[in-house]
Amino acid sequence: MNISFQQTALITGASRGIGRAIARQLAGQGMFVYLSFRSNEAAAQKALDDIQTRNGRGALLRFDVTRQTECDAAVAAIIEQRGRLDILVNNAGIRDDHLFAMMKKPAWETVMNTHLNGFYHLTRPVVRQMLKQRCGRIINISSAAGQAGNAGQVNYSAAKAGIIGATKALAKEIGSRGITVNVVAPGFIETDMLTGMDLEKIKKEIPAGRLGQPEDVAAVVCFLCSDNAAYVNGQVIGVNGGLI
Ligand code: NAP
């Protein structure tokens, strides 16, 4: 599967940060990109304007990954407009950090709901479409926290580890139908998600000596969408400057 002019991608959480960089890079390769967001329409519109200024093609889709009906409607709208969906990047995410002993149930549930239920709500209708097409690429954005655990992030680490397990199982289920499912696991990437963290302390723990940029992650996602990655399935690729 070569990235081509006809291809269509859906990137969740593409209004900002890593998702925005992924959308920009995929659009730069000629793909039609749907940028999904939940609430920050101004940021999403700016991300789309930026793509269109560079002669890229795309559209905005507002939906909340925690809501099944909204995910179903989004996938249906894409199929109606484009006739197919070649690439899904499950990127939308949040964190709600607390030491576990102090963690209240809503912090646990919101993070699980966004990452794990969100994966279920959106990926299932997409897989049903990709099975009909007999091709597709699914890339799930996990985290170094899901691979190694992070103090203060028991909820987030559990959700991101769950994404890795789901990816490996799904890759085995549908790998024979021309569909690959892989994980990209970023370390610390300079986005809004790091707001409030001690970045100088974090930098000292990273062998590369710097925070990652959204483009560092987007480049690996683009590779997984390319023909060169056709035999890469069920894998976890870290983008973390050597952190773990
Ligand atoms: P970000 O800058 O905070 O952006 C988060 C994006 O997710 C926004 O577009 C937001 O939409 C969207 N979103 C949040 N909840 C949503 C929901 N319920 N439904 C639909 N969209 C929702 O985050 P980021 O740093 O780019 O993170 C992107 C992904 O990488 C996340 O899965 C995150 O866990 C993972 N990650 C990040 C880092 C890091 O260091 N930054 C490290 C490892 C993994 P609105 O703009 O509308 O709010």
Give, for ligand 1, the residue of 18, 143, 160 to mutate: max count of ligand atoms closer than 8 Å to Cβ.
Answer: 18
Look up residue 158 and give its two tokens.
């559990």
For the domain made up of 3-239, the CATH class stated in words is: alpha beta
If 0-12 CB within 10 Å is exposed, 13-18 middle and 19+ buried, where does residue 15 land?
A: buried
Q: How far is the CA of 176 from the centre of ligand 1 (A)?
A: 31
Establish whether residue 43 lines the binding site of ligand 1, counting it when its CB lies within 6 angstroms of any ligand atom: yes
Q: State the CB neighbour count (10 A cutoff) for residue 178.
A: 15
Average of per-residue pLDDT across 191-217: 97
Whole-angstrom distance, CA of residue 88 vs CA of residue 176: 18
120 included as an active-site residue: no
Using DSSP, state whether 170 is helix, strand or coil: helix
pLDDT tens string 16-64: 999 999 999 999 999 999 999 999 999 999 999 999 999 999 999 999 9
Look up residue 149 and give its two tokens.
């655990």
Note the pLDDT of residue 6. 78
Residue 88 pLDDT exceeds 70: yes
Q: What percent of the chain has a predicted confidence (pLDDT) above 70?
A: 98
Mean pLDDT (the chain, rounded): 97
Does residue 163 contact residue 115 with C-beta atoms inside 8 Å? yes
Q: Return the residue whose CA atom lies nearest to atom 39 of ligand 1.
A: 189
Amino acid found at 120: Y
Q: Return the residue whose CA atom lies nearest to atom 8 of ligand 1.
A: 13
Chain-centroid distance, C-alpha 88: 8
User: Shortest CA distance to 157 belongs to which of 168, 143, 167?
Assistant: 143
Look up residue 19 and give its two tokens.
């998702």
Residue 1 pLDDT exceeds 50: no
Chain-centroid distance, C-alpha 237: 13
Establish whether residue 212 lines the binding site of ligand 1, counting it when its CB lies within 6 angstroms of any ligand atom: no
Establish whether residue 86 lines the binding site of ligand 1, counting it when its CB lies within 6 angstroms of any ligand atom: no
Average of per-residue pLDDT across 206-234: 98
Amino acid found at 99: L
Confidence band, pLDDT 50/70/90 cuts, at residue 2:
low
pTM over 0.95: yes
User: Shortest CA distance to 72 belongs to which of 140, 9, 127?
Assistant: 127
Please provide residue 98's backbone torsions phi and psi, each rounded to the nearest 5 degrees: -155, 150
| The pairing of beta strand 87-90 with beta strand 8-11 | parallel
